[in-house]
Amino acid sequence: MAREAAALTQRRLRAAVVTIVGRRGLASVTARSVAAEAGVNQALIFYHFGTLGDLVAAAYRESVDEALERYREALASAHGLGEVLDAVKAELGTDRADGGAALMAQLLAAAGQDEALAKLARELLGEWRTVVGEALERAMVDSPVEGLVSPASVVEAALSGMLGTVLVDGAEPGALSGSFATLRELDRTLARFSRLPSPVRRAVRSVIAPKFASDAPNHPSR
Protein backbone atom coordinates (compact mmCIF):
# COMPACT_ATOMS: atom_id res chain seq x y z
CA MET A 1 0.00 0.00 0.00
CA ALA A 2 2.78 2.43 0.93
CA ARG A 3 4.64 1.54 -2.26
CA GLU A 4 1.56 2.24 -4.37
CA ALA A 5 1.05 5.57 -2.61
CA ALA A 6 4.68 6.51 -3.26
CA ALA A 7 4.38 5.59 -6.95
CA LEU A 8 1.21 7.67 -7.23
CA THR A 9 2.91 10.68 -5.63
CA GLN A 10 5.85 10.36 -8.01
CA ARG A 11 3.52 10.23 -11.01
CA ARG A 12 1.65 13.31 -9.78
CA LEU A 13 4.92 15.20 -9.34
CA ARG A 14 6.15 14.28 -12.82
CA ALA A 15 2.79 15.22 -14.32
CA ALA A 16 2.87 18.53 -12.45
CA VAL A 17 6.22 19.41 -14.05
CA VAL A 18 4.87 18.65 -17.53
CA THR A 19 1.75 20.72 -16.87
CA ILE A 20 3.70 23.73 -15.61
CA VAL A 21 6.19 23.65 -18.49
CA GLY A 22 3.33 23.42 -20.96
CA ARG A 23 1.44 26.33 -19.44
CA ARG A 24 4.14 28.74 -18.27
CA GLY A 25 7.52 27.43 -19.36
CA LEU A 26 10.44 25.64 -17.76
CA ALA A 27 11.53 28.74 -15.85
CA SER A 28 8.29 28.55 -13.85
CA VAL A 29 9.13 25.11 -12.46
CA THR A 30 9.93 25.60 -8.78
CA ALA A 31 9.49 23.35 -5.78
CA ARG A 32 6.59 25.52 -4.65
CA SER A 33 4.81 25.57 -8.03
CA VAL A 34 5.25 21.83 -8.57
CA ALA A 35 4.03 20.96 -5.08
CA ALA A 36 1.00 23.21 -5.50
CA GLU A 37 0.15 21.72 -8.90
CA ALA A 38 0.53 18.17 -7.58
CA GLY A 39 -1.29 18.94 -4.34
CA VAL A 40 1.50 17.62 -2.12
CA ASN A 41 4.05 18.95 0.36
CA GLN A 42 7.26 20.38 -1.13
CA ALA A 43 9.33 18.02 1.00
CA LEU A 44 8.03 15.07 -1.03
CA ILE A 45 9.88 16.36 -4.10
CA PHE A 46 13.22 15.95 -2.35
CA TYR A 47 12.17 12.75 -0.59
CA HIS A 48 11.27 10.98 -3.83
CA PHE A 49 13.68 12.57 -6.33
CA GLY A 50 16.53 14.10 -4.35
CA THR A 51 16.55 17.42 -6.18
CA LEU A 52 14.16 19.48 -8.26
CA GLY A 53 16.48 19.00 -11.22
CA ASP A 54 16.22 15.23 -10.89
CA LEU A 55 12.44 15.52 -10.85
CA VAL A 56 12.51 17.63 -14.03
CA ALA A 57 14.76 15.06 -15.71
CA ALA A 58 12.44 12.23 -14.66
CA ALA A 59 9.39 14.08 -15.99
CA TYR A 60 11.06 14.75 -19.32
CA ARG A 61 12.32 11.21 -19.63
CA GLU A 62 8.87 9.77 -18.97
CA SER A 63 7.33 12.08 -21.57
CA VAL A 64 9.99 11.29 -24.18
CA ASP A 65 9.87 7.54 -23.48
CA GLU A 66 6.13 7.57 -24.17
CA ALA A 67 6.70 9.48 -27.41
CA LEU A 68 9.50 7.15 -28.50
CA GLU A 69 7.24 4.15 -27.97
CA ARG A 70 4.78 5.77 -30.39
CA TYR A 71 7.58 6.27 -32.89
CA ARG A 72 8.68 2.64 -32.58
CA GLU A 73 5.15 1.37 -33.20
CA ALA A 74 4.64 3.68 -36.18
CA LEU A 75 8.02 2.89 -37.72
CA ALA A 76 7.71 -0.87 -37.24
CA SER A 77 5.34 -1.12 -40.20
CA ALA A 78 7.12 1.45 -42.39
CA HIS A 79 8.82 0.10 -45.51
CA GLY A 80 11.11 2.22 -47.63
CA LEU A 81 12.49 5.69 -47.07
CA GLY A 82 9.27 7.44 -48.02
CA GLU A 83 7.13 5.53 -45.53
CA VAL A 84 9.67 6.11 -42.76
CA LEU A 85 9.69 9.85 -43.45
CA ASP A 86 5.89 9.95 -43.55
CA ALA A 87 5.71 8.12 -40.21
CA VAL A 88 8.22 10.48 -38.59
CA LYS A 89 6.36 13.50 -39.92
CA ALA A 90 3.04 12.16 -38.60
CA GLU A 91 4.50 11.54 -35.14
CA LEU A 92 6.03 15.01 -35.07
CA GLY A 93 2.56 16.32 -35.83
CA THR A 94 1.27 14.39 -32.83
CA ASP A 95 4.06 15.88 -30.71
CA ARG A 96 2.91 19.36 -31.73
CA ALA A 97 -0.72 18.59 -30.95
CA ASP A 98 -0.17 16.99 -27.53
CA GLY A 99 2.41 19.51 -26.29
CA GLY A 100 5.48 17.30 -26.61
CA ALA A 101 7.08 19.67 -29.10
CA ALA A 102 6.59 22.60 -26.74
CA LEU A 103 8.23 20.64 -23.91
CA MET A 104 11.28 19.93 -26.05
CA ALA A 105 11.45 23.54 -27.22
CA GLN A 106 11.55 24.69 -23.59
CA LEU A 107 14.33 22.21 -22.82
CA LEU A 108 16.41 23.28 -25.81
CA ALA A 109 15.97 26.95 -24.97
CA ALA A 110 17.12 26.40 -21.39
CA ALA A 111 19.98 24.05 -22.29
CA GLY A 112 22.26 26.93 -23.28
CA GLN A 113 22.33 28.22 -19.70
CA ASP A 114 22.26 24.94 -17.78
CA GLU A 115 24.74 22.11 -18.39
CA ALA A 116 22.53 19.55 -16.64
CA LEU A 117 19.65 20.40 -18.98
CA ALA A 118 22.04 20.39 -21.94
CA LYS A 119 23.15 16.88 -21.00
CA LEU A 120 19.53 15.78 -20.69
CA ALA A 121 18.71 17.26 -24.10
CA ARG A 122 21.66 15.45 -25.70
CA GLU A 123 20.58 12.15 -24.17
CA LEU A 124 16.95 12.49 -25.27
CA LEU A 125 17.87 13.58 -28.79
CA GLY A 126 20.34 10.71 -28.97
CA GLU A 127 17.57 8.25 -28.18
CA TRP A 128 15.34 9.80 -30.87
CA ARG A 129 18.23 9.57 -33.34
CA THR A 130 18.70 5.88 -32.50
CA VAL A 131 15.02 4.96 -32.95
CA VAL A 132 14.68 6.75 -36.29
CA GLY A 133 18.12 5.63 -37.46
CA GLU A 134 17.32 1.97 -36.86
CA ALA A 135 14.10 2.32 -38.88
CA LEU A 136 15.97 3.96 -41.76
CA GLU A 137 18.63 1.28 -41.77
CA ARG A 138 15.95 -1.43 -41.95
CA ALA A 139 14.16 0.40 -44.73
CA MET A 140 17.30 0.75 -46.85
CA VAL A 141 18.69 -2.78 -46.46
CA ASP A 142 18.74 -4.60 -49.82
CA SER A 143 17.21 -1.57 -51.51
CA PRO A 144 18.69 -0.16 -54.75
CA VAL A 145 20.06 2.78 -52.75
CA GLU A 146 21.73 0.79 -49.97
CA GLY A 147 25.24 2.19 -49.58
CA LEU A 148 24.45 5.13 -51.82
CA VAL A 149 22.92 7.34 -49.16
CA SER A 150 23.93 7.07 -45.52
CA PRO A 151 21.00 6.47 -43.13
CA ALA A 152 22.87 8.64 -40.62
CA SER A 153 22.76 11.57 -43.05
CA VAL A 154 19.01 11.20 -43.50
CA VAL A 155 18.55 10.93 -39.72
CA GLU A 156 20.47 14.17 -39.20
CA ALA A 157 18.34 15.92 -41.81
CA ALA A 158 15.17 14.62 -40.14
CA LEU A 159 16.50 15.64 -36.73
CA SER A 160 17.24 19.13 -38.04
CA GLY A 161 13.68 19.29 -39.34
CA MET A 162 12.35 18.20 -35.95
CA LEU A 163 14.42 20.76 -34.06
CA GLY A 164 13.40 23.50 -36.46
CA THR A 165 9.78 22.50 -36.06
CA VAL A 166 9.77 22.53 -32.26
CA LEU A 167 11.69 25.81 -32.04
CA VAL A 168 9.37 27.74 -34.38
CA ASP A 169 6.19 25.87 -33.44
CA GLY A 170 3.28 28.29 -33.39
CA ALA A 171 5.19 31.08 -35.13
CA GLU A 172 5.42 29.26 -38.46
CA PRO A 173 2.63 26.71 -38.93
CA GLY A 174 4.09 25.36 -42.18
CA ALA A 175 7.50 24.58 -40.73
CA LEU A 176 6.85 20.87 -40.33
CA SER A 177 5.80 20.34 -43.95
CA GLY A 178 8.59 22.52 -45.27
CA SER A 179 11.31 20.79 -43.28
CA PHE A 180 10.43 17.42 -44.79
CA ALA A 181 9.96 18.62 -48.37
CA THR A 182 13.64 18.22 -49.23
CA LEU A 183 13.77 14.72 -47.75
CA ARG A 184 10.70 13.71 -49.72
CA GLU A 185 12.31 15.06 -52.89
CA LEU A 186 15.36 12.93 -52.09
CA ASP A 187 13.08 9.89 -51.82
CA ARG A 188 11.56 10.63 -55.24
CA THR A 189 15.02 11.09 -56.75
CA LEU A 190 16.18 7.79 -55.31
CA ALA A 191 13.06 6.09 -56.65
CA ARG A 192 13.90 7.34 -60.14
CA PHE A 193 17.48 6.16 -59.67
CA SER A 194 16.27 2.67 -58.72
CA ARG A 195 14.48 2.40 -62.08
CA LEU A 196 17.63 3.04 -64.10
CA PRO A 197 19.30 0.09 -65.86
CA SER A 198 21.67 -1.84 -63.60
CA PRO A 199 24.85 -0.81 -65.48
CA VAL A 200 23.92 2.85 -65.11
CA ARG A 201 23.18 2.43 -61.39
CA ARG A 202 26.52 0.72 -60.86
CA ALA A 203 28.36 3.48 -62.69
CA VAL A 204 26.63 6.22 -60.70
CA ARG A 205 27.15 4.36 -57.44
CA SER A 206 30.87 3.93 -58.09
CA VAL A 207 31.25 7.68 -58.50
CA ILE A 208 29.11 9.12 -55.70
CA ALA A 209 28.84 6.39 -53.04
CA PRO A 210 32.37 7.05 -51.68
CA LYS A 211 31.50 10.74 -51.40
CA PHE A 212 28.35 10.00 -49.37
CA ALA A 213 30.28 7.60 -47.15
CA SER A 214 33.01 10.13 -46.41
CA ASP A 215 30.48 12.88 -45.64
CA ALA A 216 28.26 10.76 -43.38
CA PRO A 217 27.99 12.18 -39.84
CA ASN A 218 29.29 10.07 -37.01
CA HIS A 219 27.54 10.66 -33.68
CA PRO A 220 28.07 8.86 -30.42
CA SER A 221 24.97 7.35 -28.87
CA ARG A 222 25.55 9.57 -25.82
Per-residue pLDDT of the chain in tens (222 residues, 90 and over written 9) = 788 899 999 999 999 999 999 999 999 999 999 999 999 999 999 999 999 999 999 999 999 999 999 999 999 988 888 888 889 888 888 888 888 888 888 998 899 899 999 999 999 999 988 998 899 888 877 666 666 667 777 778 777 777 776 676 555 555 556 666 766 676 676 666 666 677 766 676 666 556 555 555 555 444
Query: What pLDDT score does 145 carry?
Result: 62
* 47 backbone φψ class: left, alpha, beta (φ>0; ψ -120 to 50): alpha
* Whether residue 106 is found in the same domain as residue 163: yes
Query: C-alpha distances in angstroms, 107 versus 90, 168, 195?
Result: 22, 14, 44
Does 58 fall in a domain?
no
Domain count, the chain: 2
Alpha carbons 156 and 11: distance in angstroms, whole number: 33
Does 55 fall in a domain?
no
Q: What is the pTM of this model?
A: 0.76
Does 220 fall in a domain?
no
Strand blocks (E) in 39-161: none
| Number of Cβ atoms within 10 Å of the Cβ of 49 | 18
Query: What pLDDT score does 221 carry?
Result: 44
Domain of residue 142: give its range: 63-215
* Whether residue 21 is found in the same domain as residue 110: no
* Whether residue 149 is found in the same domain as residue 110: yes
* Whether residue 184 is found in the same domain as residue 125: yes
Alpha carbons 42 and 52: distance in angstroms, whole number: 10
* Whether residue 136 is found in the same domain as residue 182: yes
Mutual angle of helices 80-98 and 52-76, in 10-degree steps: 140
Alpha carbons 105 and 139: distance in angstroms, whole number: 29
Query: What pLDDT score does 92 carry?
Result: 84
Query: What pLDDT score does 179 carry?
Result: 61
